[in-house]
Amino acid sequence: MEVDTQSASAPQPGRRGLHRVIDASCAPAEDRLDPSLAGGSHPDLRRAMEALLGEEQVHARASDLVRHASDASPYRLVPQVVVSPRTAEQVAAVLRHCAEHGLNATFRAGGTSLSGQSQCDGVLVDVRRHWSGMVVEEDGQTLRARPGTVLEHANAVLARHGRRLGPDPASARAACLGGVVANNAAGMRCRMERSAYATLRSATFVTASGTIIDTAAPDAEERFASAEPALAQGLMELRREVLEDPQLTDFLRRKYSIRNTTGYTMRALLDGSTPLEIFRRLLVGSEGTLAFIAEVVMDTLPIPPVLGLGWVHLPDAASAVELVTQVRELGAEAVEMMMSSSLVSAASRLPGAPADWATLPPDGVSLLVEFGGQDEAEIEALQEQMRRCAAPLSPLLPVILSTDPAVMALGWRVRSGLASDMALNKPVGAVNVNEDVCFPTDRLAEGVRDLSALLTHHGFNPQVVGHAAYGNMHFTLATHLATPEGRQQYSDFMEAFATLVVDKYQGSLKAEHGTGINMAPFVEREWGERVTGMMWRIKQLADPHGVLGRDVMLTKDPQVHLKRFKQDPLADPVIDGCVECGFCEPVCPSRNVTTTPRQRIALRREMARQEPDSPLTRALLDEYRYEAVETCAVDSSCAEACPYGIDTGAMMKSLRVAQASPTSQRTASWMSDHWGPVSAVARAAVTAADLVQQRVGTEPLALVTGALRRVASADLVPSVAGPMPRPAARKLPRTASQEACAVYFPACVNRIFGRDPGVQGGLGLSEALVSVSARAGRPVWIPDDVDGLCCGTPFGSKGYPDARDAMYVRMARALLAWSEEGRLPVVIDASSCAQALIQELPSHLPADLAERFAAVQVMDPTRWAAELLPTLEVSRRLDQVTVHTGCSARQLGQAADMLRICEALARTVHVPIAQACCGTAGDRGLLHPELVASATEQELADLGDSQAYVSSNRTCEMGLRQATGKPFESVVLLLEELTR
């Protein structure tokens, strides 16, 4: 059924409220969008793209241009238009049009690139939206995938076969396979033989002229030579030149004996013996400047059955590098090196961090080492060998290798948090430039020492961290690139850096981050005039019109890396620390329907760059209300994914407060004060809807609500996109306070909505929870006065803080009374409600009440069910159950409990790969069903054929039911049923 949405282009009610917050602008910034683009892309360009692709695949509004104008790099280029082609043929059509009209094009998937290679001022081709999907082949030996497939999702699918991909960059949660291959991304465990270059078996690509080739096709060589004769012949000529020059051949082999992503992957001329085999290899690391990679087939690697992780703390870099060599020879999967001083703050900041880290000296060096083995015994043997190797080097603390998942998770959290710490410590208004370098491994200690000294000399943070096993180190430059002084500081450092790395160490100026705009002016410095000239010949052969990735990889402008920097204005304290890395995007429920957290932030910053109340600012505001504020689920999934913990949803909540009128605030407060009657009316409405759908189906309901949404408001009237739940029982089960082990507060949503309409008979949720608790010997008590109380989320998420806080106070007092000041725990049968009472309510209470409330222990249904499980006997196990662990349960740390319960109830527990927020967010998904449809799109493709589908939040279960057609219900209901 087609769902309706509010138009985002027409002026929206509430814009004046947003103005109250957003009009507090700073002076117009140099990098602001040209005010003449208030109407979006040039009409001729928009019409031309729509003729090629269709209106829905062309994004030409001002807000579309702004939200795609940022990536994880320090640069900001605004595209003329953004397009989302669906097929390789459409990509070819776009490229041909660009060639004919002198336009440049850039492909963008995850947008996690650090060197500016996923931006352009021409046609930005989005290859994330319609380009995800994968097929596991040869029982996991290979993976066929499209370029918009998130690397982490691909590895999760392969893990079911005991396999994974070779590249493992830190951005795996957001980086897409197209970018991984196009950048030749590496990572912590990626040896040379595991790289994208080494493991790419075949590819389908689209050349700049529009030729489409699958390199695995039997006639691929002939088709390539016929369609691209100059390119094919030119590549063979270049190969001949290299092979005829032994000195050049040796130079290339030496350069690629360590990681190197500066310029094109010239070893392809040595490794490929035919034009197509050379070109396929050249595409790896080409950053989209030679062709578009439409599909890849990659060889995979086995996952070690057992992993062990350990720390070794040594007095200096020389000792650390000596040990790196030895543990690498022992077969270490990863060896990460960092300054010990960075662990001192972690000792006080991270729960579970060893206290003795606080004693580490500032000039010490720490190694994080990971080993893989067939069993625990092998890991123990490796630990002993590592301890013996470290002993002569005077380790500062005992050397321990652990297989405990919690210890391992902490180790990698510390490692990934180092970059976050460096980024967050940047001066206000500064921009971070993330650089990487590769030294020959036998000179790593000397290289790190010199690099740290160079950073200090130029006024930058001297912290250097990285993949020591490969000589690949990372560092962050924080400077005010908007000022002449800041640009000069950066320029001076880069010149000195190039001299140090190339002249003294013969290293790589880029090891895995890609050349991009950032290092393009230094390609000749590293490779010399002859090899750089060969690279230019490759570019000219493959892209004679200069369509692809202008100034990326190769440039004629020696100052291009010093131009068009971001100038992030201070827009909102919640989001001012964002570096626009994009890690939040794959988990955002609105990612495929409106905007992502990164895009919400980019748009908010653009409004701060502009003149207040200008035509462009008004256009952005008009679109922002629906595109950003109304379709945000405010579920904090973005904060979980963000390396800096930025919760964009919190900013959206504050904007909802700003746009709420005094009348709506008073109405919300009245509803909060009269929640009992309001809930009764809501339950009556559900009862009436159920009677209608039983007699005439859901279509008449959908028509009626659809009409009301058009007449009134899509933000007030919920949609009916499918079968609605039955009403909950009018009366709650009878319970007694005597002998009760816990207080049970049935969430108001579960007092309104009952079982799935497809379920015949059976207990309701409150009856099931009471029954299974008694069966487990842990009886619960439902107080008589639960009506009229609520967790406060419906008011807080909609922007009604007064109504929320009043409900919080009433709720806290009731919980204190029921629990006898915390003597009894409190069980709530909806995870989101429990989360609100645990994580939100305390900070909004008066100080004296908050102090008392700290004694109250609140449990969500998953935690309570897990506590009941040991004393229950499972009478029947299902073959398979599909689990959706909602945002709230996950953020409460209950994902493991949910799995443990389901593993006891079913032989197979299926967790969909791309599982994230379902987008329901209370009634948000009912008001905006397009949000749920978008959020569950990928999860729907991997639901599995199960006998039961479980979660722990009723509105989420309703949203999942409407989006997938599967009867998702509370895990408590399944636990009760299978333990009778």
Domains and CATH numbers, the chain: 134-297 (3.30.465.10), 306-412 (3.30.70.3450), 423-528+544-562 (3.30.70.2740), 662-980 (no CATH)
pLDDT level of residue 27 (50, 70, 90 thresholds): low
pLDDT at residue 707, rounded to an integer: 53
pLDDT level of residue 401 (50, 70, 90 thresholds): confident
pLDDT at residue 16, rounded to an integer: 53
Question: Average pLDDT of the chain?
Answer: 91
Strand 780-781 versus strand 742-745 pairing type:
parallel
pLDDT tens per residue across span 673-716:
999 998 888 888 888 877 877 777 666 655 555 554 454 445 55
Type of residue found at 738: Q
Per-residue pLDDT, averaged over 439-463, amounts to 95
User: Which of 82-86, 420-424, 509-513 is the least confident region?
Assistant: 420-424
pLDDT of residue 660 exceeding 90, the answer is no
pLDDT tens per residue across span 909-920:
999 988 888 888
CB atoms within 10 A of CB 9: 13
Structure tokens at 17: 């409220």
Of 832, 794, 805, the closest CA to residue 923 belongs to 794
Per-residue pLDDT, averaged over 481-493, amounts to 94
Determine the Cα angle at 249 with ends 247 and 255, to 5°: 100
pLDDT at residue 24, rounded to an integer: 47
Gap between the Cα atoms of 525 and 503, Å rounded: 9
Per-residue pLDDT, averaged over 549-576, amounts to 94
pLDDT at residue 423, rounded to an integer: 64
HSE-CB at 589 with a 13 A cutoff on CA atoms is 31
User: Which of 501-505, 589-593, 705-709, 930-934 is the least confident region?
Assistant: 705-709
pLDDT level of residue 2 (50, 70, 90 thresholds): very low
Gap between the Cα atoms of 523 and 520, Å rounded: 6
pLDDT at residue 734, rounded to an integer: 94
DSSP 304: P
Q: 3-state DSSP call for residue 34? A: coil
pLDDT of residue 141 exceeding 90, the answer is yes
pLDDT level of residue 3 (50, 70, 90 thresholds): very low
pLDDT tens per residue across span 811-830:
999 999 999 999 999 999 99
pLDDT at residue 684, rounded to an integer: 86
Type of residue found at 530: R
pLDDT of residue 403 exceeding 60, the answer is yes
pLDDT tens per residue across span 752-810:
899 988 787 789 999 999 999 999 999 999 999 999 999 999 899 889 999 999 999 99
Per-residue pLDDT, averaged over 464-479, amounts to 94
Q: Is the pTM of the predicted complex or chain greater than 0.85?
A: yes
User: Which of 350-354, 494-498, 853-857 is the least confident region?
Assistant: 350-354
pLDDT tens per residue across span 72-113:
999 999 999 999 999 999 999 999 999 999 999 999 999 999
DSSP output for 123-169: EEEE-STT---EEEEGGGTEEEE-TT-BHHHHHHHHHTTTEE-S-B-
pLDDT of residue 13 exceeding 70, the answer is no
Determine the Cα angle at 88 with ends 85 and 92, to 5°: 85
pLDDT at residue 4, rounded to an integer: 36
Strand 365-373 versus strand 301-302 pairing type:
unpaired
DSSP output for 958-976: HHHHHHH---EEEHHHHHH
CB atoms within 10 A of CB 902: 24
Q: 3-state DSSP call for residue 297? A: strand
pLDDT level of residue 886 (50, 70, 90 thresholds): very high
Of 811, 818, 785, the closest CA to residue 796 belongs to 811
pLDDT at residue 855, rounded to an integer: 97
Of 343, 619, 615, the closest CA to residue 465 belongs to 343
User: Which of 390-394, 576-580, 681-685 is the least confident region?
Assistant: 681-685
pLDDT of residue 427 exceeding 50, the answer is yes
Structure tokens at 313: 């703390």
pLDDT at residue 54, rounded to an integer: 97
CB 793 within 8 A of CB 838: no
DSSP 844: G
Strand 306-314 versus strand 291-299 pairing type:
unpaired
Per-residue pLDDT, averaged over 905-909, amounts to 97
pLDDT tens per residue across span 579-631:
899 999 999 999 999 999 999 999 999 999 998 889 999 999 999 999 999 99
Gap between the Cα atoms of 935 and 914, Å rounded: 10
pLDDT tens per residue across span 404-418:
988 898 888 888 777
- What's the residue count for the chain? 980
Task: State phi, psi for 617 to the nearest 5 degrees.
Answer: -60, -40
pLDDT of residue 353 exceeding 90, the answer is no
pLDDT at residue 869, rounded to an integer: 97
pLDDT at residue 406, rounded to an integer: 86
Element (H or E) spanning 401, and its range? strand 400-402
pLDDT of residue 958 exceeding 70, the answer is yes
